Amino acid sequence: MVSAHAERLRWHTAAQLLTVMRDAPGITRAAAAARLGIGSGSASELTARLRKAHLVDEVRAPAQGRGRPTAVLAAHPEGPLIAAADLGVAGWRLAIAGVDGRPEIVAHDEYAGHELSAALAGMSRAIGAAHRRHADRLAALSVSVAGTVSDARLVQFTARGSRDVDLAVLTAKIPRRVAVLLGNDATLAGLAEARTGAARDVTTALHLMVAQGIGGALVVNGEPVAGGHGAAGEYGHVPFGDPGLRCPCGARGCWDLTVDGRALAHHLGDRAPTDPIGYVHDLAARRDELSRSAFRKVAASLGRGIGALVNLHDPEAVTLGGVAALLRAQATGAFDDAFRDALMAFRKASPPPVRDALHGEDGPLQGAVLAGLDHVTTPDALAAWVGRRRA
C-alpha cells in the first residue's frame, strides 16, 4: 500500500505541470517539459497519468499555416472545476473554470438599488445550479467581494453600508466537501495581474483598483501580502483625502472618497451615484470643460496617492485595474504631474512603470479562479481527487 507521503510526492510534479498550464495557456507538452526541467519520456508518462486521472488532455491547436497540427495541453473535459463568484458594487457574476484557469460566465445579475440579501440569494441559487450540473466535478467555490475581508469574513461591504455580512447563504446548496475561499476583489485582481497579467514580468508589484473607492495589493513573487488577518491592501482608507469628509468605513479623510465616481459627482455637484463605475464610463463620454476639470482633480488625487505608495512599497511596477486606467486616461497630464511630484527625489529619474491592468475589470473574477485553483491543485488535493474517482 502506498503511504500518504509517497502519494503526495507522486503528485508534486503533476501540480507543477498544472501551474505551467495556467501560466502559459496553449503550451505544448515539450515546452512544458522544458519549463519543468524533465525529459520527453518523463513528460509523456506524466501526461498519460494526468489524462488517466481526468486532469489533463491534449488537443489540436488552431491551424496556423501549413504543416502538421500542433497538440497543446488543455483541461480534461471531465476534470475538476472551480466555481468563481464576483460580488461587485452593482452586480454579481458566476463563472466555471477548469484546471487551465479559463473562466466561462454561467450566471450574472445587477442589483443596484436592491437589497444585498436578494443578490446573495440569487448567487446562492446560481451556485446550487452549477453544483447540480457538474456534481462531483465541482472542487471549490472561490468568492471575490468588493469589501473588507478579515479572518475569512466579510467585515465591511461599504458599497451597501453593511458590516459583518453573513455569506453562509452562498454555501447552502453545495456539500461540505467543496472548499470555500473568500477574498477581497482588489487583492484577487492583484493576484491575477501578477500571475497572468501586466505584472507577470516582475517579482514585486503594486496593484491598485478603483471601483467604489480604491483598494489593492502588494504582490511579491506571485503572492499578495495578506497581513495578519487577511485584510491588507485597504489603501482607500489611508488619509490621503479631505480630513473634513467622513468615510462609510468610520474614518475621516479616506483616499476612497477622492478617486472614484463619487468624487467626480462631488466635483460636479451631482448626487452620489449608485453605480460609481458606470458613472465614470458615462462621464468619460462627455467632452465639456466641467467634466474635464473633475477628471483632472480625481486623476491628480490618484497619481499623488500612487506616488506615496511607491515611496512606501518600492514596487518594480504598478498596475491599474477597475476604472483606474480610465481615470488616468481622461487626464494623463494631471495624473503624471501629481505622481511625479509625490515621488522622493531619488525615484524621479527612474520611477516604476504604471501600466494598465491586462485583465481590466475582470481582474477580481480571474483572481478568484486562480486562488481556487491554487487550493485544488496542490499535491494533496490532486491525490484526493484521484482517490474520490477510484471510490
Task: Indicate the domain borders of the chain.
Answer: 4-75, 81-188+364-390, 198-357
What are the backbone dihedrals phi and psi of residue 230, each rounded to the nearest 5 degrees, phi first?
80, 10
Q: Is the separation of the CB atoms in 82 and 92 below 8 Å?
A: no
Burial 148-163 (b: 16+ CB within 10 A, else e): bbbeebbebbbbbebe
pTM of this structure = 0.91
pLDDT at 53 (0 to 100): 95
Instruction: For the beta carbon of residue 309, count every other beta carbon within 10 angstroms.
Output: 20
CB-CB neighbours of 187 under 10 Å:
29
Task: Determine whether domain 81-188+364-390 maps to CATH 3.30.420.40.
Answer: yes
The alpha-helical segments, DSSP class H, found in 164-230 are 185-196
Q: Which residues pair with 184 in a beta bridge?
A: 145
Q: How high is the pLDDT of residue 7?
A: 64
Residue 64 confidence (pLDDT): 63
For residue 334, how far is the Cα from the chain centroid? 28
Cell 481526468, located at residue: 54
Q: How far is CA 78 from the centre of its chain?
A: 25
Say if domain 4-75 classifies as CATH 1.10.10.10: yes
pLDDT of residue 388: 84
Place of cell 461599504: 158
What backbone phi and psi angles, to 5 degrees, belong to 175? -70, 160
- The reply to whether 81-188+364-390 and 198-357 are identical in fold is yes
Q: Is domain 198-357 annotated with CATH 3.40.50.300? A: no
- Spell out where 90-232 has E strands: 91-97, 104-110, 138-145, 148-150, 153-157, 162-165, 179-184, 204-211, 213-220, 223-224
Q: What's the average pLDDT block by block, 10 residues per block, for the chain (391 residues)?
A: 64 93 90 94 94 94 65 94 93 95 95 76 95 94 88 69 78 91 94 96 98 95 92 93 89 95 96 92 94 98 99 98 97 98 97 97 96 95 88 66
